[in-house]
Chain A
Amino acid sequence: MATLTPTVPSPSSTPATKLRRHQWLSIIGQAIRTPRGAIGLTLSTLIVLLAAIGPSVAPYNPDYFVGAPFAKPSGQFLLGTDYLGRDVLSRTLDGGWELLVMALAATVFGLLVGASAGISAAYLRGRSDGLIMRTVDVILAFPQLVFALLLVSILGPKLWLIVLAVGFSHAPAVARVLRSATLDVSERDFVKAVELQGMRSSTVMRKEILPNLISPIMVEAGLRLTYSIVIMAGLSYLTFGPPPPLANWGTDIGLNQLGLAPAANLWSVVVPATLIALLTIGTNTFTDAIARVAIGVDRKPEEAVLIDNIGLQTA
């Protein structure tokens, strides 16, 4: 009889083995350590902090008319006033958090719907696949903003509706990405192994497949968050957002457009626009860093070879 005492390999510390229980934490951790990730995260964190702390440090009540319309920046109003004579700085500090919360909620909703649809389509195949993906095609035929506008203009600008509309308009793209990722995973033998036990489809998807989709889900989450911010701001700009006088970066850009005239106060437009731009650049850069870590573009060559050597490639 062959001697069968297994030798115990020393716990290895290659990057491949780091990706485990809290894979998403480890991906974020590695992403932060790349220059791209660090810049992106710093940028978006700064804007988020500004939006979060802003309301409590605003010098004036953002809704009060405290000066002349379009007053230039002065000692009294650091960024001047808007078209109704409200303090631009106060409105800027106050007008971000709502946008952020709504964007976040829409992203979560979109991911939930899209991921469930995509994973089910890929795993169940057949008729369910056809039904889900054709629906997705129909929704995809509308540009995202137009689709959201359509829903909001039919049902009225209610906050929850905007969140649902934007989230729902993300679902098709998410569904497509996760469908293709699931198609790959669900053909692997470990899925067949639990199917052979007669495990229910929903359990297979939840317990066996989902944990293997963390990378694409994270990348999608970042991407959709960026889009949510832009669409939310866009809807507000088109006056489909939260109704005035509530301070909101998107709404303020729209209402203060006149301020771009040379005699007026251009800061009332430039400041909220810049903040939105910086925020989306930040989230997008960070997402890019995550994608590179998760998919492996930025892996060091030495690490790539080590992973090859321990046979991680699947036949």
Chain B
Amino acid sequence: MTTMSDDSAAAPVEPPTPNDGRGHARLEVKDLRICLGESGPDVVSEVSFSVRAGQVLGLVGESGSGKTTVALALLGHARRGLVISNGSVLLDGADVLSLDRKHLEALRGAKVAYVPQDPSASLNPTLRIGSQLKEALQVHPEASEDVDERVAQVMAEAHIDASPAMLRRYPHQLSGGQQQRVAIAMAFSCRPSLIVLDEPTTGLDVTTQRHVLDTVRTLCRTYGVAAVYVSHDLAVVGGLVADVAVMYAGRVIELGTTAQVFGSPVHPYSRGLLAAVPSPDRAEMLTGIDGQPPRPGRRPPGCSFAPRCSFVIDACRSTTPEPVMAAGRAVRCLRASEIEEKEAARTAIVTHPVADASLRAPVLTLRDVLVRYGSAPVLSGINLDVMPESCLAVVGESGSGKTTLARCIVGLHQNWTGDMSFEGTRLAAGARRRPKELLQRVQYIFQNPYTSLNPRKTVGQIVSQPLEHFFDLSLAERSQKVQRVLEDVSLGADFFNRYPDQLSGGERQRVAIARALVVEPDLLVCDEVTSALDVSVQAIIVELLRRLQSEHHLAMIFITHNLALVRSIAQDAVVLCEGRLVESGTVDDVLEHPKEAYTMRLMEDVPKLARAGVAWEAAPQPAGAAALLA
């Protein structure tokens, strides 16, 4: 990945006028409540927090927690069907929610800026980035005296090369990281008071991600901008923000400094969430949180987390907890003061069964594999071995070719040369040219469980379909096998007649795993199987795969961009960089004693919870906590 701006030496940004805005709350959100329709159930309620100038508040939560809904409300916007029914959003003392349409338009872009999740979707593909950067400044002429000069300035600040050639490019001519930088430059161009960043680094690889995060942090400090950073990725947030608000089922359930919340979480949900985050430093057992968050309108009385909580007592099911102060931060939990005392149980070290590799032949060997798209080579000189009953992790950034490699192995991508053999049998290119028996023995699990299950079929039909195809079994035998494999992936028999749209992402991925396992394969190829899932679900899926791998004596290829996950699941690892295998060995060797500069950089750039708060002066009391308590 060669993004011309990403590695260019950071041009020193001149700090402009000293800002004395630091210290007072720029943004104050009070008792925000957002409902489905005028009289519908609430999606978000009792949300209060504040952000000081120059500070970044992390708004953390899993999908469906209401974090994006809150973020949009800060701009005075509610998605179709949602109504902001209560509360205030005070920006420098003025209530954003009471503004009429005209004033809101004047506010957006100028005083409040928004950086959306996917820059490739939010930049207009038909306009040159130069004109898009100027757009906001032209709409808000009061924001700058010289538009061109300001554009050049913000581009330098966002570390984009401000040459005329760059300004003439279209969004598709930029890399993902550059696109996101352009979006950030746009957001900062009018020198707003508040920036709302909605998961701006989700689609980026770790190195680009870190550059973008550093840029955001520096800019916020320099200009005294208050920022709200919405993310599901705890590790990213940990390295960036000073304060963290954890959201669950539409409420802020814990609000404190990053060091407090990530160092010693109090709320059982925060604890669960952190236990689910894999560590790149140690092989750890990941603990997920069972169940799924309740949807709006289906939230139980009392504490919304009670059904999934391991600390639950009877009172939790009837009393809605009010925020209380515990260990210096605000927590919405009835038992906060008791739990505060308890050490967070941080996970046992996993010992992988050591297979005596020297005695056994590899299940799958690749020699000098060269893969092309059309005539352009995308992977070359790939050599690797997968040992029986062990897991090989294939690590790489986006665009490194790791998914392409997996697709060649299973037979979805046909344009390759070289030698690929499975237990001594040469593999033909393309699944249709391989014998049925081989297809049954190598199974593939797709990245996205939302597209890998046919929405018109029940779970039972989906799982029994490969059995029908590969084996000649009676109906009774089939349904027995399906039932057994569903139990294996911890889905009860009542899932048999459900349709995929009735399942959560984690449940869908379990169905996909069941579909692969039901035919009793020898090699399982898992292509980024957790990247579409929340971290608490990811932990459950990874643990599930590890258990199934040892129970079924499977060989496994686990493809991931998440170096931290590798520790928890694999014994061997290979690192891919721009279509080449740059490093291979046991996981410990590769992660602890990387030989290649690339691997080292990759390791350094992995966002770690341990970095939390490093760059921030320790605040004795989180700024926002008082707001929540009030």
Chain A residues close to B by CB (< 8 Å): 1-12, 16-17, 19-20, 23, 188-190, 192-199, 208, 211-212, 300-306, 308-315
Decide: A188 and B451 in contact? CB cutoff 8 A. Answer: yes
Question: How close is B630's CB to chain A, nearest CB, in angstroms?
Answer: 29
A5–B444 Cα gap in the complex (Å)? 25
Given A198-B431, A314-B450: A302 and B40 within 8 A (CB)? yes
Decide: A190 and B452 in contact? CB cutoff 8 A. Answer: yes
Decide: A212 and B36 in contact? CB cutoff 8 A. Answer: no
Question: How close is B202's CB to chain A, nearest CB, in angstroms?
Answer: 11
Asked whether any CB of chain A lies closer than 8 Å to the CB of B287, the reply is yes
Decide: A9 and B504 in contact? CB cutoff 8 A. Answer: yes
With a cutoff of 8 Å between Cβ atoms, the chain A residues found around residue B256 in the complex are: none
B147-155, B174-182, B494-502: which one contacts chain A? B494-502
Decide: A302 and B292 in contact? CB cutoff 8 A. Answer: no
A2-B285, A194-B465 known, 15 other contacts, Cβ within 8 Å: A1-B285, A2-B540, A3-B290, A6-B491, A6-B507, A9-B502, A12-B298, A17-B501, A17-B502, A192-B452, A195-B432, A198-B432, A198-B469, A309-B64, A311-B505
Decide: A17 and B439 in contact? CB cutoff 8 A. Answer: no
Dominant secondary structure at the A interface: loop
Dominant secondary structure at the B interface: loop
Question: How close is B420's CB to chain A, nearest CB, in angstroms?
Answer: 15
Asked whether any CB of chain A lies closer than 8 Å to the CB of B301, the reply is no
With a cutoff of 8 Å between Cβ atoms, the chain B residues found around residue A195 in the complex are: 412, 431-432
With a cutoff of 8 Å between Cβ atoms, the chain A residues found around residue B36 in the complex are: 302, 305-306
Decide: A5 and B452 in contact? CB cutoff 8 A. Answer: no
Decide: B40 and A211 in contact? CB cutoff 8 A. Answer: no
With a cutoff of 8 Å between Cβ atoms, the chain B residues found around residue A8 in the complex are: 492, 494
Decide: B502 and A1 in contact? CB cutoff 8 A. Answer: no
Decide: B450 and A1 in contact? CB cutoff 8 A. Answer: no
Decide: A4 and B81 in contact? CB cutoff 8 A. Answer: no
Neighbour of B540 across the interface among A4, A305, A315, CB < 8 A: A4
A15–B21 Cα gap in the complex (Å)? 49
Neighbour of B499 across the interface among A17, A212, A310, CB < 8 A: A17
With a cutoff of 8 Å between Cβ atoms, the chain A residues found around residue B504 in the complex are: 9, 310-311
Given A17-B502, A193-B515, A305-B82: A4 and B290 within 8 A (CB)? yes
Neighbour of B439 across the interface among A4, A7, A197, A304, CB < 8 A: A197
B91-99, B325-333, B453-461, B578-586: which one contacts chain A? B453-461
With a cutoff of 8 Å between Cβ atoms, the chain A residues found around residue B439 in the complex are: 196-198
What band does the interface of chain B fall in when counting residues whose beta carbon is under 8 Å from A?
35 or more
Neighbour of A314 across the interface among B81, B290, B448, B544, CB < 8 A: B448
- Shortest 6 CB-CB contacts between residues of A and residues of B: A301-B81, A7-B291, A211-B456, A4-B490, A189-B452, A305-B81
Neighbour of A311 across the interface among B37, B63, B288, CB < 8 A: B63
Neighbour of B539 across the interface among A2, A188, A198, A311, CB < 8 A: A2
With a cutoff of 8 Å between Cβ atoms, the chain B residues found around residue A6 in the complex are: 290-291, 490-492, 495, 507
Question: How close is A113's CB to chain B, nearest CB, in angstroms?
Answer: 23
A304–B40 Cα gap in the complex (Å)? 14
* Interface hits, B444-476 → A, CB 8 Å: 444, 446-448, 450-457, 465-466, 469-470
Decide: B455 and A189 in contact? CB cutoff 8 A. Answer: no
Decide: B470 and A2 in contact? CB cutoff 8 A. Answer: no
A193–B462 Cα gap in the complex (Å)? 10
Decide: B296 and A309 in contact? CB cutoff 8 A. Answer: yes
With a cutoff of 8 Å between Cβ atoms, the chain A residues found around residue B292 in the complex are: 7, 9
With a cutoff of 8 Å between Cβ atoms, the chain B residues found around residue A312 in the complex are: 450, 501
Asked whether any CB of chain A lies closer than 8 Å to the CB of B79, the reply is yes
Residue of B nearest to A4 (CB): B490
With a cutoff of 8 Å between Cβ atoms, the chain B residues found around residue A4 in the complex are: 290, 490, 540, 543-544
Question: How close is B454's CB to chain A, nearest CB, in angstroms?
Answer: 4
* Interface hits, B476-499 → A, CB 8 Å: 490-492, 494-495, 499
Decide: B469 and A211 in contact? CB cutoff 8 A. Answer: no
